[in-house]
């Protein structure tokens, strides 16, 4: 057994250290939103308590479908409960395809790509903080990890993230990171089974570059949130507009109806060449899905060169503007030491 062999999704630090972004995944609890259609809903405010998360049924399982259906996948056609038409129904697992869609770029692809980026960047520039539900599924070190359903809070200044695991996987785990504060450490409240001999509720702190942290997820914690998705899309687009082939081709492929959302999403396909991303040494393909109402990317799916899904990050129940302050990201205040 290797030195890391004991770190397993069911009983290890891997789960409590997997925070990214990217990101995004299911089950058992749904964020309260401003939408009265969500049962018992009340607006999310800063320092949302556990009671502000209402349970949802753990009914769905991800299913494999024909890859042509990345644009439109069967299995989740129930209407959503949402504050906008693009929010996913509570408690229903997202469905994704298992192979690559054969989608062709529309004639005005380059114009539309620039429009999507500009709209997303302009909208995100107006958002200081937001709260969302993150559904995430990742492949780490060649192994598919369990799906996760996470309450996610983000603040731009100082750059801050908060995660609380809501589903069966890692239920009750919390993670906080604020750049330059609290020792510049990632603070974690362990869930049951996260670490041998460590009880649920134990507070731990690790550096962002700790070997356990870096080996536990596909992305660093600083890559969490929709802002990084917009930034990377913009870099690849600017490169393509300069006539470079470094990042691989981007194409606008039209509006796609996804089972996670009630309305169609503007879809971008990115073919990633070998060697561009360390996590995709032989290249792959990625799809970004933009909400036409908010103009933000709310779903990202990545397949490797073998057409296997390695990243699924779905943000729904997105709420902004919200007031988040230092107390929302202070581990000592949120998790006071037991006397």
Identify which of 131, 165, 163 has the alpha carbon closest to the alpha carbon of residue 146.
165
Helix (H) or strand (E) holding 290: strand 284-290
Say how far apart CA 186 and CA 329 lie, in whole Å: 11
Say how far apart CA 335 and CA 339 lie, in whole Å: 12
Mean pLDDT of the region 285-314: 98
Domains of the chain: 13-334 (2.50.20.20)
Say how far apart CA 183 and CA 207 lie, in whole Å: 9
Mean pLDDT of the region 55-72: 35
* CA–CA–CA angle 264, 36, 300 (5° rounding): 30
Identify which of 21, 70, 14 has the alpha carbon closest to the alpha carbon of residue 311.
21
Residue 81 and residue 191 in contact, taking contact as beta carbons nearer than 8 Å: no
pLDDT: which is higher, 6 or 184: 184
Count how many Cα atoms sit within 13 Å of the Cα of residue 101 in the half-sphere of its side chain.
Answer: 24
Which sign does the torsion angle of CA 273, 277, 283, 285 carry?
negative
Q: What secondary structure does DSSP assign to 74-131, as a single string?
A: SS--SPP-SSSTTPPPTT------SS-------TTHHHHHHHHHHHHHHHHHT-SEEE
Question: 185-214: per-residue pLDDT in tens?
Answer: 999 999 998 888 999 999 999 999 988 887
Please report, for residues 1, 84, 95, 252, 267, the alpha-carbon distance to residue 258 in angstroms, rounded to integers and kept in the order given: 42, 15, 9, 16, 10
Question: What percentage of residues in the chain have a pLDDT greater than 70?
Answer: 69
Question: 80-123: per-residue pLDDT in tens?
Answer: 333 332 333 233 233 344 344 455 767 789 999 999 999 999 99
- 187: its two tokens: 């603070």
For residue 331, pLDDT beyond 80:
yes
Pick left, alpha or beta for residue 225 (phi over 0 → left; psi -120 to 50 → alpha; otherwise beta).
left
Question: 150-162: per-residue pLDDT in tens?
Answer: 999 999 999 999 9
pLDDT of residue 339: 65
Q: Rounded to two decimals, what is the model's pTM?
A: 0.73
Query: Which of 21-25, 60-64, 247-251 has the highest mean predicted lDDT (pLDDT)?
Result: 247-251
Pick left, alpha or beta for residue 83 (phi over 0 → left; psi -120 to 50 → alpha; otherwise beta).
alpha
């Amino acid at each position: 057994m290797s030195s890391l062999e004991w770190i397993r999704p069911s009983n290890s630090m891997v789960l409590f250290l997997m925070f990214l972004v990217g990101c995004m995944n299911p089950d058992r609890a749904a964020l309260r939103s401003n939408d009265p259609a969500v049962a018992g809903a009340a607006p999310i405010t800063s320092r949302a308590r556990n009671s502000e998360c209402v349970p949802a049924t753990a009914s769905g399982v991800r299913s494999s479908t024909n890859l042509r259906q990345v644009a439109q996948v069967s299995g989740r056609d129930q209407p959503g409960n949402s504050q906008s038409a693009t929010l996913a129904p509570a408690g229903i697992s997202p469905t994704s395809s298992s192979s690559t869609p054969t989608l062709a770029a529309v004639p005005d692809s380059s114009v539309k790509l620039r429009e999507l980026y500009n709209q997303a960047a302009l909208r995100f520039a107006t958002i200081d903080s937001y709260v969302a539900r993150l559904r995430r599924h990742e492949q780490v070190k060649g192994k598919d990890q369990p799906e996760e359903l996470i309450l996610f809070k983000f603040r731009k200044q100082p750059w801050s993230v908060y995660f609380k695991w809501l589903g069966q996987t890692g239920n009750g785990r919390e993670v906080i990171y604020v750049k330059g504060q609290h020792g510049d450490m990632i603070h974690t409240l362990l869930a049951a089974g996260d670490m041998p001999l460590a009880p649920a509720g134990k507070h731990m702190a690790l550096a962002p570059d700790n070997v356990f942290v870096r080996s536990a997820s596909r992305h660093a914690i600083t890559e969490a949130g929709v802002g990084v998705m917009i930034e990377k899309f913009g870099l690849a687009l600017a490169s393509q507009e300069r006539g470079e082939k470094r990042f691989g081709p981007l194409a606008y492929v039209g509006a796609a109806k996804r089972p996670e959302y009630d309305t169609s999403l503007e879809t971008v396909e990115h073919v990633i060449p070998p060697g561009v991303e360390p996590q995709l040494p032989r290249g792959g393909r990625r799809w970004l899905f933009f909400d036409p109402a908010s103009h933000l990317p709310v779903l990202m799916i990545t397949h490797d060169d073998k057409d296997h899904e390695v990243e699924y990050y779905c943000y729904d129940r997105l709420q902004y503007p919200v007031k988040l302050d230092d107390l929302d990201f202070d581990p000592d205040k949120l998790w006071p030491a037991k006397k």
